[in-house]
Amino acid sequence: MFSLFYGLWKYLFTKTEFHVLILGIDKAGKTTLLEKLKSVYLNMESLPHDRIVPTVGLNIGRIKVSNSKLVFWDLGGQPGLRSIWEKYYEEAHAIVFVIDASSPLRFEDAKSALEKVLRHEDLQGAPLLILANKQDLSEATSAEELARYLDLKKLDERVYMFEAVSAYDGLGIKESVEWLVEVMERSKRTETLRARAGEAGLHGIFKGNEALHWKWKWILVTG
Ligand X SMILES: Nc1nc2c(ncn2[C@@H]2O[C@H](COP(=O)(O)OP(=O)(O)O)[C@@H](O)[C@H]2O)c(=O)[nH]1
40-46 long-range contacts, CB within 8 A, separation 24+: 40/170, 40/173, 40/174, 41/65, 41/177
Query: Which stretch, 7-15, 48-56, 100-108, 175-183, contacts Mg ion (CB under 5 A)?
Result: 48-56
Distance CA(21)–CA(31), nearest Å, equals: 12
Q: Are strands 94-100 and 128-133 parallel, antiparallel or unpaired?
A: parallel
135 binds Mg ion (CB under 5 A): no
Of 29 and 172, the one with the shorter C-beta distance to Mg ion is 29
184 binds ligand X (CB under 6 A): no
* 105: DSSP letter: G
The reply to whether 78 belongs to the active site is yes
Instruction: State the minimum distance, in angstroms, from the CB of residue 106 to ligand X.
Output: 11
Distance CA(197)–CA(122), nearest Å, equals: 16
Return the one option of Mg ion, ligand X, none that residue 136 interacts with (CB less than 5 to 8 A, by type). ligand X
Give bridge partners of residue 21 from the DSSP assignment: 73, 95
Interface with Mg ion (CB under 5 A): 30-31, 55
Interface with ligand X (CB under 6 A): 24, 26-32, 49, 52, 54-55, 77, 133-134, 136-137, 166-168
Residue positions annotated with a catalytic role = 78
